């Protein structure tokens, strides 16, 4: 049994225009490995090739060259297709149907029997916070409510790989928090979530690994904690201010700012951060807060995209 939910090898998609005699490389030599049971962030600026990649993984677009496997099998296998749930960025539902009817419709298309649907439809409506609107027509839903309904149809058949394309784009802060909680719940059940979003702060809260694309190529990929740089700057708060402690701190670092019980210090390198903590304790200081500065996912994204221009 493969350890990867998605694995691509030199995946490439080229679009050719005969009229304009143009060649557009949408995806170029893409190598991805998405471990099973993780939340994987698939990131990149507009036009980076994210949507084209997703369409290939779903079997809706044929690669020009290269190959990929979903749970170790080709996408042509119906058993693999049944293990995938998908929420597209731009979706249109039959707005004359109620939420309940829409899920029944999609469930029957997925081959689910009536007994299973009778149990699953109320379950997923509860999960996305739409239980009280089960019999409301989709045309009456706000964009955010339709987004929740889209997530419900993506997880209705209990898939093992859930591909979400901008799942929180229309949601308010409470709705985004609910989606984050749902993603983490699905992960706890062993599901793999393949997440494409421009809301990088949301991605940072839930993702285990990320891949950053530019011009159809992966520029960075790996564990999020390993990719984000730690700066040799630390915010420290002491229980009680002490001149003895501050003298010890100044002996091993540069104090950038100081305010009562709190200060910010810069050491020579990331490896010196533990030394600063030991120095404070050995001088008799009691540490209430010790927070090294770390770049955000947004910082990493901008750094990677700009350095590869």
The CATH number of the domain holding residue 266 is: 3.30.70
Q: Are residues 65 and 168 in the same domain?
A: yes
Give me the helices (H) in the chain, please.
50-57, 78-81, 99-109, 114-127, 143-155, 173-188, 200-206, 224-227, 243-252, 273-282, 297-307
Q: Are residues 99 and 30 in the same domain?
A: yes
Q: What order of strands is seen across the sheet that includes strand 4-17?
A: 22-35, 4-17, 65-70
The CATH number of the domain holding residue 26 is: 3.40.50.300
Strands 65-70 and 4-17: antiparallel
Count of domains in the chain? 2
In contact, 71 and 160? CB cutoff 8 Å: yes
| Residue ranges making up the domain that contains 277 | 230-297
Q: Are residues 235 and 258 in the same domain?
A: yes
Task: Give me the tens of pLDDT residue by residue for the chain, a chain 309 residues long.
Answer: 568 999 999 999 998 877 667 888 899 999 999 999 999 999 999 889 999 999 999 999 999 999 999 999 999 888 899 999 999 988 888 889 999 999 999 999 888 999 999 999 999 999 999 999 999 999 999 888 888 999 999 999 999 999 999 888 778 888 888 888 999 999 999 999 999 988 898 899 999 999 999 988 999 999 988 888 888 999 999 999 889 999 999 999 999 999 989 999 999 988 899 999 999 999 999 999 999 988 889 988 998 888 766
Which of 185, 209, 226 is at the close of a domain? 226
Q: Are residues 8 and 73 in the same domain?
A: yes
pTM, full prediction = 0.84
Q: Are residues 248 and 158 in the same domain?
A: no
């Amino acid at each position: 049994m493969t350890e990867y939910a998605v694995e691509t090898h030199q995946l490439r998609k080229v679009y050719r225009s005969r009229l304009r005699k143009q060649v557009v490389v949408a995806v170029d030599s893409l190598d991805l490995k998405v471990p099973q049971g993780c939340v994987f962030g698939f990131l990149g600026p507009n036009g980076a090739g994210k949507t084209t990649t997703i369409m290939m993984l779903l079997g809706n677009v044929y690669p020009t060259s290269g190959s990929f496997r979903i749970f170790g099998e080709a996408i042509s296998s119906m058993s693999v297709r049944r293990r995938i749930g998908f929420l597209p960025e731009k979706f249109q539902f039959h707005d004359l149907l109620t939420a309940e009817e829409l899920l029944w419709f999609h469930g029957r298309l997925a081959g689910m029997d009536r007994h299973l649907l009778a149990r699953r439809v109320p379950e997923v409506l509860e999960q996305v916070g739409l239980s009280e609107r089960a019999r409301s027509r989709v045309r009456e839903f706000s964009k955010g409510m339709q987004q929740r309904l889209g997530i419900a149809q993506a997880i209705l058949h209990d898939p093992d790989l859930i591909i979400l394309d901008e799942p929180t784009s229309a949601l308010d802060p409470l709705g985004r928090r609910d989606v984050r909680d749902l993603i983490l719940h699905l992960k706890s059940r062993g599901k793999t979530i393949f997440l494409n979003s421009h809301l990088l702060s949301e991605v940072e809260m839930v993702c285990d690994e990320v891949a950053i694309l530019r011009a159809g190529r992966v520029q960075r990929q790996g564990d999020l904690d390993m990719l984000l740089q730690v700066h040799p700057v630390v915010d420290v708060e002491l229980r009680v201010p002490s001149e003895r402690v501050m003298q010890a701190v100044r002996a091993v670092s540069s104090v950038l700012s100081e305010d009562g019980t709190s200060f910010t210090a810069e050491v020579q390198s990331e490896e010196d951060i533990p030394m600063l903590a030991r120095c404070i304790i050995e001088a008799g200081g009691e540490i209430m807060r010790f927070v090294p500065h770390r770049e955000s996912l947004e910082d990493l994204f901008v750094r990677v995209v700009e350095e590869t221009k």
